């Protein structure tokens, strides 16, 4: 499947965005979770990879929005495996629903390490498909595979080029990599600052971009309380993961 599918999904999502004010409100909450874990380095250069429809600036106004394809709301067109930044020049890299599209996460992380300042951070906000609800949500109700049994190709093979990038999705990868001790030796050069898992049922029940919303906008405060309660049972209810890596 070609990489152009990403652009098709971005344009489709953009068509739904203005129709769902509740979805916009929930995304602002997700972005606030990310903003709370930024590195705080002096003279920050915050870059979002795979910005999609580019709404992160509502919460992080100085964030550079980037993606593989040009769109009028983006700042830079770039590939996550070959970033156009000098060594040790970036304070933070944000990946919102992007990490599970990286076929070779280790190769991408090596490039992230190159451009980050010492103490700079990679902030991954991704689906969590390892809980009961997460497996139902992303395994049965979402078109992308969770691929929990597939081998993760950590590093690109010899001779591989970024121009060979194709469409890839494995929604279970973030949970598998950042929640499993097996992968910790591969994170050499990084400190895993935090791993948080969220139920985010308030998001799931919006239907996302394209599916019907299952509760009225006015119920959102009640749904937030439900989220907060169910966050204590991540093995059953987690559907989102936030992982923060800091360059040593």
What pLDDT, on the 0 to 100 scale, is given for residue 63? Answer: 98
- Residue 19: what pLDDT? 83
Q: What is the pLDDT along the chain (248 residues), one digit of tens a residue?
A: 556 666 777 777 777 777 899 999 999 999 999 999 999 999 999 999 999 887 999 999 999 999 988 888 899 999 999 999 999 999 999 999 999 999 999 999 999 999 999 999 999 999 999 999 999 999 988 889 999 999 999 999 999 998 877 889 999 999 999 998 889 999 999 999 999 999 999 999 999 888 899 999 999 999 999 999 999 999 999 999 999 999 99
Q: What is the pLDDT of residue 15?
A: 72
**pLDDT recorded at residue 180:** 87
Domains and CATH numbers, the chain: 4-247 (3.40.50.150)
What is the per-residue DSSP string for the chain? --THHHHHHHHHHHHHHTT-HHHHHHHHHHHHHHHTT----SS--EEEES-TT-GGGGT-TTPEEEESS--TT-SEE-BTTB-SS-TT-EEEEEEES-GGG-SSHHHHHHHHHHHEEEEEEEEEEEE--SSHHHHHHHHTSSSS---TTSPP--SPPTT--GGG------TTHHHHHHS-GGGGGGGTTEEEEEEEEE--HHHHTTTTTTSPP-S-GGGHHHHHHHHHHHTT-HHHH--EEEEEEEE-
């Amino acid at each position: 499947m070609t990489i152009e599918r990403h652009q098709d999904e971005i344009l489709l999502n953009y068509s739904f965005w203005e129709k769902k004010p509740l979805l916009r409100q929930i995304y602002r909450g997700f972005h606030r979770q990310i903003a709370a874990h930024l590195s705080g380095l002096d003279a920050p250069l915050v870059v979002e990879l795979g910005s999609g429809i580019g709404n992160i600036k509502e919460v992080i106004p100085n964030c550079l929005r980037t993606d593989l394809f040009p769109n009028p709301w983006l700042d830079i067109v770039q590939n996550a495996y070959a970033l156009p930044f000098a060594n040790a020049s970036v304070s933070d890299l944000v990946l919102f629903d992007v990490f599970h599209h990286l076929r070779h996460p280790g190769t991408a992380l090596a490039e992230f390490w190159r451009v980050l300042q010492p103490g700079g951070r990679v902030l991954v906000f991704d689906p969590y498909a390892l809980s009961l609800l997460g497996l139902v949500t992303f395994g049965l109700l979402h078109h992308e595979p969770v691929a929990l049994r597939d081998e993760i190709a950590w590093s690109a093979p010899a001779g591989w080029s970024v121009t060979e990038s194709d469409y890839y999705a494995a929604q279970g990868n973030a949970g598998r990599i950042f929640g499993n001790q097996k992968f910790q030796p591969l994170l050499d050069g990084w400190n895993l600052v935090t791993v948080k898992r969220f139920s985010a049922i308030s998001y799931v029940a919006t239907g996302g971009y394209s599916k019907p919303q299952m509760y009225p906008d006015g119920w959102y405060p009640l749904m937030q309380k439900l989220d907060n309660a169910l966050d204590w049972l991540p093995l059953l209810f987690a559907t989102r993961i936030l992982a923060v890596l800091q360059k040593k």
